[in-house]
Amino acid sequence: MLVTLEEAKEYLKVEYEDEDTLLLTLLSTAESLCSDILRRDLPDGDDTVRTAILYAVGVLFENRGTPEVADLVPTLKCILSGRRQEVF
């Protein structure tokens, strides 16, 4: 994973362990979303990609149990647009 559980918890200001399993699942989902948008494997050491993953985890975590994530993919596409592999 490009973003560790500890980094995600710090980003989300989560100080307890009750949500660790959920956060690991959300991290995996966020990385898959970003990889799909980039149309390639996630590059190591890319701060923009890490930011996109953290953003996605934040949206998914804050809106768990609700369908309020409609803007997530368009926003991730904007964040990652410069790194997205072109398709011809």
First-to-last alpha carbon distance for the chain, in angstroms, is 29
Determine contact, residues 27/34, Cβ cutoff 8 Å: no
Residue 86's pLDDT band (cuts 50, 70, 90) = confident
List, for residues 15-34, the tens digit of each pLDDT value: 999 999 999 999 999 999 99
Determine contact, residues 84/37, Cβ cutoff 8 Å: yes
pLDDT over 90 percentage in the chain: 81
Write down the mean pLDDT value for the chain: 92
Residue 88's pLDDT band (cuts 50, 70, 90) = low
Residue ranges of domains in the chain: 5-83
Cα separations in angstroms, 62 against 3, 50, 87: 18, 18, 33
